[in-house]
Structure 1
Amino acid sequence: MRFFRIIRQTLLNDNKIRRYLVYAVGEIILVVIGILIALAINNVNQKHKIHKKEQVYLQGLRKEFQTSRIKLVELIKVNRSNLNGAKQIITFIGADSIPSEKELSTFLFSTLAFDIAFNPNNSLLNEMINSGSLKDISSDLLRIHLTTWISTVEDISKQEYDQELQRERVMSVLSGDKYSIRTAYELNGAINNQLGLPRMKKHTSNMGLLSSNEFENKLFLFISSAYATNVNHYQPLLEELDTIIELIDSELDN
């Protein structure tokens, strides 16, 4: 800046105060412009860094939510199988034609063998929420959906817990002294094919379940809970997953 000092000194020595003031103002303006340019460049760089960071987050979130969607779709299939099996058993109760022991075992197995529990991949989302990095997501709408996702999943788990209770109550009847879980599993092929246990020489019949009011009542409550899980919880959750994935895709660079 020696050049500018020489100019200022020359103007002062020549007693040209007015020109000196004009020059001083011009120099201040140049300095301000320089600062503004530097701030603008720094702002652009910061925005670029934030955008790059956001893209990394979006890529990770997209993978997480796609994996969660695959899990949910499979879980819906399992729960639908549980529901359909239970509904078929209900149709046997009081019907003119009754199923064979093997047919009943098949439906008992498909209804009661598998529990349900949605376990979404939320590791990155939880990390973002805990670290305050959710603010780096520029889309307000996406940020709202991500924020409410955790509470939505927690609500789903409460419904799943209720359904598991109903399932256990149905199982409690089947596991009593009169009936046999092993018969249901073995005649369905699960004992030999999956568990590797030897076959029984004589099976305890489960046909009496079809005339048990306790079994019918508990099975009906299980059907109601399984239906509510699919219709009131899983289907809306699947729609929410699709919405979040769509919003993420709209924010990702092509």
Structure 2
Amino acid sequence: MVQLFRKVRQNLLSENKFTKYLVYALGEIILVVIGILIALAINNGNQNRINKENEQTYLAGLQEEFQTSKSKLTELIAVNQSNYAGAKKILEHTNTKNNPISEATFSKLLYNTFSKDIAFNPNNSLLQEMVNSGNLKNLSNTQLRKQLTNWISTMEDISRQEEELSIQREKVLDMFRTNENSLKTIFKQAGIYDNIGLPTNETDVSNLGLLNSTEFENNVLMFILTCYATEKAHYNPLMQDLDAILNLIKKEIN
């Protein structure tokens, strides 16, 4: 084909048909440009198809991650609610002579309320990989990209709040690491001590005196307030963000 075009050009020049030569050369250039544009269009079409396929793969992975994270958060909210509900029951018996509570009941309340630490551990491995590799920009939905970027910074805020909650929990537990009170009594009365095969003796230290301690009452109160703030100001808005992200992902998945 190239040789044919060259032969035509040579014939036109040899016959002194310069005007026709220019028209022919221009036509040839136009054909080349059209060929290049067609090739680019095909290439762009293929690249767009590949990008769409990659985006769908990322979306499916993100959907699975955030659904797992939602299940974890739902369970964590329930644990947090149980913790501060138990702490409120303990608070009902502080500094009062009415409705006396038994050592066994007090121990079970203490164990059920303060034995579970709170820490949200979302599944963010794919999201982190996308951020680190720059592939987050491959998501075409601008609002989704914004929500995912905000999610990462929100996790830092959640961690700080959970750290504060852990500090308040430890302040209560520290009151049982003294000569006046006993963790062993809690474990024995709550049925935990025998289950893990620890040695027993007949001497038990009562923890009921803590119910008349203002320091204990203050620590439990701060724990309740921090639990409440963790749920209302952090976990509930986080759940709303999770639902928003999952809804955006669902709309984008073909």
TM-score range with shorter-chain normalisation? over 0.9
SS in structure 2 at match of 1:159: helix
Q: 1:197: Cα distance to partner?
A: 2.4
Q: How does 1:69-218 map to 2 (within 5 A)?
A: 69-93=70-94, 94=96, 96-193=98-195, 195-218=196-219
How far, CA to CA, are the matches of 2:38 and 2:184 in structure 1?
A: 79
Q: 1:223: Cα distance to partner?
A: 0.6
Q: How does 1:211-250 map to 2 (within 5 A)?
A: 211-250=212-251
Aligned letter for 2:45?
A: V
How far, CA to CA, are the matches of 1:101 and 1:124 in structure 2?
A: 49
Q: 1:244: Cα distance to partner?
A: 1.2
Aligned letter for 1:133?
A: N
How far, CA to CA, are the matches of 1:185 and 1:55 in structure 2?
A: 51
How far, CA to CA, are the matches of 1:76 and 1:196 in structure 2?
A: 32
Give the CA RMSD over aligned residues: 1.5
Q: 1:208: Cα distance to partner?
A: 1.1
TM-score, normalization by structure 2 = 0.93
Q: Unaligned stretches of 5+ in structure 2?
A: none
Aligned-residue sequence identity (percent) comes to 52
How far, CA to CA, are the matches of 1:110 and 1:52 in structure 2?
A: 49
Aligned letter for 1:39?
A: L
How far, CA to CA, are the matches of 1:199 and 1:48 in structure 2?
A: 70
Aligned letter for 1:234?
A: Y
How far, CA to CA, are the matches of 1:144 and 1:167 in structure 2?
A: 35
SS in structure 2 at match of 1:190: coil
**CA offset digits 1:111-149 (Å, max 9, x no partner):** 111111111122221121111111111111111111111
**CA offset digits 1:148-179 (Å, max 9, x no partner):** 11110011111111111111111111332222
Aligned letter for 1:154?
A: E
1:47 is aligned to 48
Q: Unaligned stretches of 5+ in structure 1?
A: none
Assess, with a 3 A threshold, how the Cα gap between structure 1 residues 132 and 10 changes in structure 2: closer, same or farther.
same
Count of residues in correspondence between the two structures: 252
Aligned letter for 2:149?
A: T
How far, CA to CA, are the matches of 1:40 and 1:104 in structure 2?
A: 75
User: Which range moved further: 33-42 or 72-81?
Assistant: 72-81
How far, CA to CA, are the matches of 2:114 and 2:61 in structure 1?
A: 36
How far, CA to CA, are the matches of 2:245 and 2:187 in structure 1?
A: 40
Q: 1:232: Cα distance to partner?
A: 0.6
TM-score, normalization by structure 1 = 0.93
Q: Is 1:62 paired with 2:63? A: yes
**CA offset digits 1:166-220 (Å, max 9, x no partner):** 1111111133222212212221122223x23244424322211111111001110
Q: 1:49: Cα distance to partner?
A: 1.6
**CA offset digits 1:65-93 (Å, max 9, x no partner):** 22222221111111111111001101122
How far, CA to CA, are the matches of 1:201 and 1:76 in structure 2?
A: 39
Aligned letter for 1:103?
A: T
SS in structure 1 at match of 2:194: helix
User: Which range moved further: 45-54 or 84-93?
Assistant: 45-54
Assess, with a 3 A threshold, how the Cα gap between structure 1 residues 242 and 95 changes in structure 2: closer, same or farther.
farther
SS in structure 1 at match of 2:175: helix
Q: 1:235: Cα distance to partner?
A: 1.0
